[in-house]
Amino acid sequence: MDKNLSYGDDYKFIPATSIGSGIGVEVLPDLYCHTIQIVNIIMVGKPGNNEFVLVDTGMPFSADEIISVVNNRFGENSQPKAIILTHGHFDHVGAIIDLVERWKVPVYAHELELPFLTGKKSYPEPDPTVEGGMVAKMSPMFPNEPINLGTHVEKLPSDGSVPHMPDFRWIHTPGHAPGHVSFFREVDRALIAGDAFITVKQDALYKVITQDQEINGPPRYLTTDWHAAWESVRRLEELKPTVAITGHGVPMSDELLTTSLERLVREFDQIAIPDYGKYVDKRTH
Ligand SMILES: [Zn+2]
Ligand SMILES: [Zn+2]
């Protein structure tokens, strides 16, 4: 066992859930989305062979659930070729130390996320004063200390390719986190958006619990650069995705996705950027 691997000092169980918790959806034959409490993990690859990867690793203390979901879909004792991260926030790396110790697979993330994944730098404190509902108010309990994956984490290839996801390329979509990335596949215009935009109003506990489908910008309490976040949504909209799996909320597709994304780009200052909060720059309004 690698003694250097560790969660952050403020690692803890977060008591938040939704009606989607524990439920999985096969979005496409090789894209499976499963909800851990309030956040999605994605398995990329077709069942029946061992060529698959895991994108993001859920909430703290969810390793057993993730392992059983992987085994159910790919067979007993199966394991991904790699873990790929959209970004390193606590709800996307919640089980990662357990999974890396068990599977001994490499982790890939954008190089700007590496300080948060190698014990060097904390994320900014979540902002409970931001305009928003109960989840925003709860956010001070969310872990923001860096985890340490040591040498198990590597930067994504600079040519835009994604290891073990041959038809996908990664796209830098900062704003919510400095090294936030999304994954796009040209052939069927499938998008894994992470938290660049999401399909639920994540700041409001009621909306999180019911998972009402509603396009939104990134979760507010952790987003520190709203100007970059707007640019990132613009970039993703230009790709004209036909289906999107986001970090939070139910996957969205076709006409609803197209019109929702167009509206989000157009009205980002109204829909996404909070009216007040410590990371809100008045100039982005
Ligand atoms: Zn996030
Ligand atoms: Zn998230």
Q: Is beta strand 107-109 parallel, antiparallel or unpaired with respect to 83-84?
A: parallel
CA dist 86 and 82 (Å) reads 13
Tell me the pLDDT band of 7, cut-offs 50, 70 and 90: very high
- Which residues crowd ion ligand 2, with CB under 5 Å? 91, 195, 247
Find the CATH number of the domain harbouring 161: 3.60.15.10
Query: Would 275 be classed as within a structural domain?
Result: yes
Q: Which ligand is nearest to the CA of 208?
A: 2
Full domain range(s) for residue 132: 24-284
Span 189-206, pLDDT tens digits:
999 999 999 998 888 787
Helix (H) or strand (E) holding 33: strand 31-36
Asked, for residue 76, whether it belongs to a domain, the answer is yes
pLDDT at 171 over 80: yes
CA angle 251, 67, 141 (to 5 degrees): 70
Q: Flag whether 31 is in a domain.
A: yes
Q: Is residue 13 part of a domain?
A: no
- Answer yes or no: is pLDDT of 285 > 70: no
In a domain, 148, yes or no: yes
Residue 161 lies in a domain: yes
Number of domains in the chain: 1
**Full DSSP string of 139-197:** GGGS--SPPB-GGGEEEPPTTSB-TT-TTEEEEE--SSSTT-EEEEETTTTEEEEETSS
Ligand nearest to the backbone CA of 177: 1
Minimum-distance ligand to the CA of 246? 2
Instruction: Give the model confidence (pLDDT) of 242-277 as tens digits.
Output: 999 999 999 999 999 999 999 999 999 999 999 999
Between the CA of 244 and the centroid of ligand 2 the distance, in Å, is 15
**Percent of residues, the chain, with pLDDT higher than 70:** 98
| Mean pLDDT estimate for the chain | 94
In a domain, 17, yes or no: no
The tens digit of pLDDT for each residue in 17-59 reads 888 999 999 999 999 999 999 999 999 999 998 899 999 999 9
C-alpha 33 – ligand 1 centre gap (Å)? 17
Q: What is the pTM of this model?
A: 0.96
What residue type is assigned to position 180 of the chain?
A: H
Nearest to 3 by CA among 101, 106, 109: 101
Could you tell me if residue 15 is inside a domain? no
